[in-house]
């Protein structure tokens, strides 16, 4: 039995609790039917999704022109 009834029908745990036999499908459906209808509280917004544009910029520092010298003075 669930000790805290406020979390008995927690969406994150309902599948687990149903499999364990703590909550029956019928009690879960009854719980869902008992919830208040919040449809009147809906606020619609416009959302547009645009593809990500990758900007290609040239770098002022060219790593290809860097020269490295071995610290011990050895050469190839």
pTM of the predicted model, to two decimals?
Answer: 0.46
Count other C-beta atoms under 10 Å from residue 9's C-beta.
Answer: 18
Domain positions in the chain: 5-34
Which stretches of the chain drop beneath a pLDDT of 50?
Answer: 2
69: helix, coil or strand? Answer: coil
């Amino acid at each position: 039995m669930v000790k805290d009834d406020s979390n008995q029908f927690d969406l994150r745990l309902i599948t687990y609790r149903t499999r364990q036999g703590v909550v029956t499908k019928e009690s879960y459906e009854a719980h869902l039917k008992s919830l208040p209808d919040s449809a009147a509280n809906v606020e619609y917004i416009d959302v547009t999704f645009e593809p990500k544009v990758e900007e290609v910029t040239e770098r002022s520092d060219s790593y290809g022109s860097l020269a490295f010298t071995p610290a011990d003075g050895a050469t190839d």
